[in-house]
């Protein structure tokens, strides 16, 4: 093959809660994203007990895509997008999550949004759950620690598959389901699974239980989606940060392998429909008594995914230490700085070669089509007095990653479906809640405190990406 497929899905990616705003419009309920304040690099977002007066909740207005999506999609079309990845805010469809009937105003919003995309020849790529589950499911049910969530999620999935089956072909179930491997910090358990831990609670088995229910829910959703319409393509979504050994010392290599096991077993279950033996042995060693039934195991085998969607921003590194003889991975403690790569202002290690490695790793393990559904450079952009933004650093980052992606396809023979850079229009950062951590080709005039006109303007990278798409990845 000389390059990317003729029907390669170039586009951009966002998530409902990070750009829509309109947090109460059209009957929308409160989501987990609506109770998270703005933080900063090194300052975690506060998760409040409901929406409190006097706090800054950046997702409530976000970039007001809810009212401005026509203007924004027109700009995406101008760049030549073939597809647009977003999510459906669960709380627009089931405001509390446990209702029996969906909210028609929410369904109508996505009908209009998808129609607008299709009008411009842009294929919607849709995530069902992207860090925005109903907050009611947290307060009433304890989030995904409760088995009942499976039914609520599957009901939501069936409603939207049924409704949009002729408008949306590509779906993913849970965004970055494996982020919660980092269960010692509060962010991932809450955004992935609506988990709030009691002080001193043994967090790890709770995470595995929640993830198990999600994997069953994902499999049941995949099965239901196929029954509704066999032409739907339903994938998983994994946050890929490959973990390198700091040195070639054999124990460092084993530590890296164990770390990969602990961060990526989720993919095994999604793709193969069963737990890897190393994890079952780990549950036994740790004495975790998880609620995994025979029906669950059967369900997992019946809902294997069609493709692997993944995000790639950075690689990690780890090393063995004397106080960890079993070489167990604890993401809050086991990572070390890689001296061979640069870091972004937010400490994310910049490693384009890691993308080629990741593509090969996924392909070697699973032989399923791959879709890079997030990649990008969060940076502080400066708008000049004439309104322009010279984001050459973003162009450099993306070009370097696309070059490696091409090697994976052309030289290594990986089957790659498409590429949707993250935050194709500036939006609220998930990790920090900041506006100033920008990823877009399109600048949005809004700051961390919520000031600004919300006007859109093209950055330098806008015309660059347009050329990339027009040349199917040849003009970088």
By annotation, the residues acting in catalysis are: 374
Q: Which is nearer to ligand P53, 258 or 311 (CB)?
A: 311
Q: How many residues bind ligand P53 (CB under 6 A)?
A: 16
Binding residue for ligand P53, selected from 175, 178, 334, 448, defined by CB under 6 A: 175
Q: What gap in Å lies between CA 43 and CA 120, rounded to an integer?
A: 40
* Residues from 10 through 49 that contact ligand P53 (CB under 6 A): 15, 18
Q: Is residue 176 a contact point for ligand P53 (CB under 6 A)?
A: yes
HSE at residue 426, side-chain half, CA atoms within 13 A, is: 29
- Choose one: 162-170, 218-226, 332-340, 431-439; the region binding ligand P53 (CB under 6 A): 431-439
- Choose one: 90-98, 164-172, 227-235, 426-434; the region binding ligand P53 (CB under 6 A): 426-434
Q: Which is nearer to ligand P53, 109 or 313 (CB)?
A: 313
Q: Which is nearer to ligand P53, 142 or 431 (CB)?
A: 431
Q: Which is nearer to ligand P53, 131 or 371 (CB)?
A: 131
Binding residue for ligand P53, selected from 178, 180, 429, 448, defined by CB under 6 A: 429
Cβ–Cβ < 8 Å for 307, 224? no
- Choose one: 44-52, 140-148, 204-212, 428-436; the region binding ligand P53 (CB under 6 A): 428-436
User: Quick one: angle between helices 104-119 and 65-79, nearest 10?
Assistant: 20
Residue keyed to tokens 């396809």: 409
Q: What gap in Å lies between CA 388 and CA 167, rounded to an integer?
A: 36
CB of 12 to ligand P53, least distance (A): 13
Closest Cα to residue 84, out of 144, 34, 16? 16
Cβ–Cβ < 8 Å for 15, 127? yes
CB of 298 to ligand P53, least distance (A): 30
Q: Which is nearer to ligand P53, 188 or 256 (CB)?
A: 188
Q: Is residue 221 a contact point for ligand P53 (CB under 6 A)?
A: no
Closest Cα to residue 388, out of 446, 466, 289, 461? 461
Q: Which is nearer to ligand P53, 4 or 419 (CB)?
A: 419
Q: Is 321 left (phi over 0), alpha (psi -120 to 50) or beta?
A: beta
Q: Is residue 426 a contact point for ligand P53 (CB under 6 A)?
A: no
CB of 69 to ligand P53, least distance (A): 18
Q: Is residue 422 a contact point for ligand P53 (CB under 6 A)?
A: yes
Cβ–Cβ < 8 Å for 320, 336? no
Q: Is residue 444 a contact point for ligand P53 (CB under 6 A)?
A: no
CB of 175 to ligand P53, least distance (A): 5
Structure tokens at 163: 């409704």
CB of 115 to ligand P53, least distance (A): 25
Residue keyed to tokens 């096991």: 261
Q: Is residue 313 a contact point for ligand P53 (CB under 6 A)?
A: yes
Mention every residue, 6+ apart, whose C-beta is less than 8 A from residue 355. 312, 372, 375, 401, 404, 405, 408
Q: What is the gyration radius of the CA atoms in the chain, in angstroms?
A: 21
CB of 41 to ligand P53, least distance (A): 10
Q: Is residue 136 a contact point for ligand P53 (CB under 6 A)?
A: no
Q: Which residue is nearest to ligand P53 (CB)?
A: 431
Q: Is residue 311 a contact point for ligand P53 (CB under 6 A)?
A: yes
Q: Which is nearer to ligand P53, 47 or 228 (CB)?
A: 47
Cβ–Cβ < 8 Å for 414, 360? yes
- Helical (H) or strand (E) element with 110: helix 104-119
Binding residue for ligand P53, selected from 63, 75, 126, 239, defined by CB under 6 A: 239
Q: Which is nearer to ligand P53, 18 or 193 (CB)?
A: 18
CA end-to-end span of the chain: 18
Sign for the pseudo-dihedral over CA of 160, 128, 208, 306: positive
CB of 7 to ligand P53, least distance (A): 25
Q: What gap in Å lies between CA 157 and CA 90, rounded to an integer?
A: 9
Q: What gap in Å lies between CA 136 and CA 341, rounded to an integer?
A: 42
Closest Cα to residue 425, out of 414, 435, 417? 435
- Helical (H) or strand (E) element with 402: helix 392-410
Binding residue for ligand P53, selected from 44, 80, 276, 431, defined by CB under 6 A: 431
- Choose one: 39-47, 49-57, 398-406, 425-433; the region binding ligand P53 (CB under 6 A): 425-433
Q: Which is nearer to ligand P53, 16 or 320 (CB)?
A: 16
Q: What gap in Å lies between CA 417 and CA 85, rounded to an integer?
A: 13
Binding track, positions 365-394, relative to ligand P53; x by CB under 6 A: ---------x---x----------------
Q: What DSSP assignment string belongs to 175-198?
A: TTGGGGG-TTSSHHHHHHH---PP
For ligand P53, the binding residues (CB under 6 A) are 15, 18, 131, 175-176, 239, 311, 313, 374, 378, 422, 429-432, 437
């Amino acid at each position: 093959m000389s390059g990317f497929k003729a029907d390669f899905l170039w586009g951009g990616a966002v998530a409902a809660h990070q750009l829509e705003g309109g947090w109460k419009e059209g009957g929308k309920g409160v989501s987990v994203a609506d109770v998270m304040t703005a933080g900063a690099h090194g300052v975690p977002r506060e998760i409040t007990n409901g929406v409190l007066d006097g706090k800054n909740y950046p997702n409530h207005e976000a970039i007001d895509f809810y009212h401005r999506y026509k203007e924004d999609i027109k700009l995406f079309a101008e760049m030549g997008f073939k597809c647009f990845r977003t999510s459906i805010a669960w709380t627009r469809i089931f405001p509390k999550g446990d209702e029996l009937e969906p909210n028609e105003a929410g369904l109508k919003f996505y009908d209009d949004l998808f129609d607008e995309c299709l009008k411009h020849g842009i294929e919607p790529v849709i995530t069902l759950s992207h860090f925005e589950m109903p907050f009611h499911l947290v307060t009433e049910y304890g989030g995904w620690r409760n088995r009942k969530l499976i039914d609520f999620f599957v009901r939501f999935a069936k409603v939207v598959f049924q409704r949009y089956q002729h408008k949306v072909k590509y779906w993913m179930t849970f965004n970055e389901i494996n982020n919660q491997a980092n269960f010692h910090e509060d962010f991932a358990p809450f955004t992935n699974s609506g988990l709030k831990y009691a002080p001193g609670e043994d967090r790890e088995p709770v995470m595995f239980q929640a993830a198990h229910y999600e994997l069953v829910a994902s499999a049941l959703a995949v099965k239901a989606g196929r029954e509704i319409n066999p032409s739907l393509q339903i994938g998983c979504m994994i946050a890929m940060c490959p973990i390198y050994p700091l040195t070639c010392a054999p124990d460092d290599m084993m530590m890296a392998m164990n770390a990969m096991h602990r961060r990526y077993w989720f993919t095994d279950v999604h793709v193969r429909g069963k737990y890897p033996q190393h994890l079952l042995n780990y549950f036994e060693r740790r004495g975790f008594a998880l609620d995994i039934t025979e029906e669950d195991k059967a369900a997992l085998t019946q809902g294997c995914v069609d493709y692997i969607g993944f995000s790639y921003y950075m690689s990690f590194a780890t090393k063995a230490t004397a106080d960890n003889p079993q070489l167990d991975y604890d993401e809050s403690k086991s990572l070390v700085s890689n001296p061979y790569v640069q870091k972004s202002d937010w400490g994310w290690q910049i490693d384009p070669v890691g993308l080629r490695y990741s593509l090969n790793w996924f392909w070697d393990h699973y032989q399923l089509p791959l879709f890079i559904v997030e990649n990008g450079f969060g940076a502080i952009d400066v708008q000049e007095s004439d309104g322009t933004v010279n984001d050459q650093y973003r162009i450099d980052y993306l070009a370097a990653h696309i070059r490696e992606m091409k090697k994976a396809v052309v030289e290594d023979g990986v089957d790659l479906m498409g590429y949707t850079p993250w935050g194709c229009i500036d939006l609220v950062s998930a990790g920090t809640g900041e506006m100033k951590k920008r990823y877009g080709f399109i600048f949005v005039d809004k700051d961390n405190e919520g000031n600004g006109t919300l006007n859109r303007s093209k950055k330098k990278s806008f015309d660059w990406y347009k050329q990339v798409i027009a040349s199917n990845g040849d003009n970088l």
